[in-house]
């Protein structure tokens, strides 16, 4: 089944199940989801600095690939301009390479999985999924104000990104909500208030691990 907003790819081989299982052993993985502009990168940077998680941003890894000038990078840039999702195999490959490069067993993956295909390919079950809940109106205001020179931070593309998010990522959110792993956080509050809520949830996770 072709997922909404996803680009077709024929040249990329999905990561093997064995590679995924090897990566997941001994790792504490937390996914951080939220619509564009909900503050994922901001909160993840604070969590990484304050709680010792290794921050992996799907968006940053894709941007690095664009900056490298590779063939994949050129394709990623074109897709981002159109507000479409990058093929799952590319995103998962970049995440796996980054996880293998670090010795940190506590990983915070920001902006992933973006759709059910991502979720099915990576096969790494997170301990928790944090959802930064923010309205489209507030998120759009933030995106238009941040002006980071990103090809997808303009009004037309932002609308497309929200459409893709609602079609592709909401089913993933519903899945983690149904299995009890989702923690919903009001992300329209000031940054420090949001961080306090996040810290409380992740501190409980740490205590749970220490208790085993």
Tell me the domains of the chain and their CATH numbers: 29-57+106-211 (3.40.50.300)
Helix and strand numbers (H, E) in the chain are 10, 5
Cβ atoms of 19 and 99 within 8 Å: the answer is: no
Write out the E strands in the chain.
28-34, 54-57, 106-110, 128-133, 182-186
pLDDT tens digits in sequence order for the chain, 212 residues long: 333 344 443 344 444 454 445 445 567 899 999 998 999 989 999 999 999 899 998 888 999 999 999 999 999 999 988 888 888 888 888 988 888 887 788 889 988 887 787 777 777 789 999 999 999 999 999 988 876 656 666 788 888 889 988 888 888 999 999 999 999 999 999 999 999 999 999 988 877 767 65
What length is written for the chain?
212
Q: What pLDDT sits at residue 212? A: 57
Cβ atoms of 188 and 134 within 8 Å: the answer is: yes
Q: What pLDDT sits at residue 25? A: 59
CA distance 125 to 122: 9
**CA torsion sign, 155 to 38 to 179 to 13?**
positive
- The contacts of residue 13 (CB under 8 Å, 6+ apart) are 89
Residue of 160, 170, 162 whose CA lies nearest to 139: 162
| pTM higher than 0.85 | no
Q: What are phi and psi of 51, to 5 degrees?
A: -120, 5
Residue of 94, 29, 107 whose CA lies nearest to 59: 94
Cβ atoms of 30 and 99 within 8 Å: the answer is: no
Q: What pLDDT sits at residue 211? A: 62
């Amino acid at each position: 089944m072709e997922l909404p907003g996803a680009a077709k790819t024929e040249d990329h081989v999905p990561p093997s199940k064995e590679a995924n299982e090897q990566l997941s052993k001994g790792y504490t993985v937390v996914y951080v989801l939220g619509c564009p502009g909900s503050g994922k990168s901001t909160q993840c940077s604070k969590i990484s600095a304050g709680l010792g998680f290794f921050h992996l941003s799907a968006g940053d890894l894709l941007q690095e690939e664009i900056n490298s000038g590779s063939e994949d990078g050129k394709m990623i840039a074109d897709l981002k301009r159109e507000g479409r999702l990058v093929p799952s195999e590319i995103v998962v490959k970049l995440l796996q390479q980054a996880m293998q490069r670090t010795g940190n067993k506590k990983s915070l993956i920001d902006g992933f999985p973006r759709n059910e295909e991502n979720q099915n390919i990576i096969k790494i079950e997170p301990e928790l999924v944090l959802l930064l809940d923010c309205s489209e109106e507030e998120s759009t205001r933030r995106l238009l104000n941040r002006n980071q020179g990103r090809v997808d931070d303009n009004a037309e593309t932002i609308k497309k990104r929200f459409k893709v998010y609602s079609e592709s990522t909401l089913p993933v959110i519903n899945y983690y909500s149904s299995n009890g792993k989702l923690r919903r956080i009001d992300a329209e509050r000031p940054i420090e208030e949001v961080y306090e809520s996040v810290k409380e949830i992740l501190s409980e996770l740490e205590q749970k691990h220490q208790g085993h």
